[in-house]
Amino acid sequence: MNEVFKAIADSNRRKILKLLNDGELNAGEIGQSFELTPPTLSHHLSILKAADLIRQRREGTQLIYSLNTTVMQDLAAAVFDLIPAQTTDLTTENP
């Protein structure tokens, strides 16, 4: 889990996650939203991948990235764990 928190500590990486919210994208498409060189983008993607926040698959010459929603949910749970119980009142029905 520590790796996940480190991964989302960078705003570029959080932006990548948000982009993937709307569906999978290849590396080049992701890069169009940033002013970073391809190596830097690739580095960020590899950190997100190492944290298992995203998945990668190849399609011909391009690598296509998508969110790993399972780990995203684990992250949400871990964040809630940081917050006092009464405070976290998103579900209006807690016994």
Partner DNA sequence: CAGATAATTAGACGAATGTCGAAATAACTT
Partner DNA sequence: AAGTTATTTCGACATTCGTCTAATTATCTG
Contact positions vs DNA (CB under 7 A): 6, 9-10, 12, 26-29, 31, 35-47, 56, 58, 60-63
> Which listed option, a copy of itself, DNA, none, makes contact with residue 41 (CB within 5 to 8 Å by class)?
DNA
- DSSP annotation string for 41-94: HHHHHHHHHHTTSEEEEEETTEEEEEE-HHHHHHHHHHHHTTS-TTT--SSS--
Residues near a copy of itself, by CB under 8 A: 2, 5-6, 8-9, 11, 14, 17-18, 21, 67, 69, 72-73, 75-76, 79-84, 87-88, 90-92
The least CB distance from residue 44 to a copy of itself, in Å, is 14
* Residue (60 or 95) nearer to a copy of itself, CB: 95
Which residues are CB-contacts of 19 (< 8 A; sequence separation ≥ 6)? 25, 30, 33
Which of 48, 46, 18 has the alpha carbon at shortest distance from 33?
18
Pairing label, strands 54-59, 62-67 = antiparallel
Using CB distances below 5 to 8 A depending on partner kind, what does residue 39 bind out of DNA, a copy of itself, none?
DNA
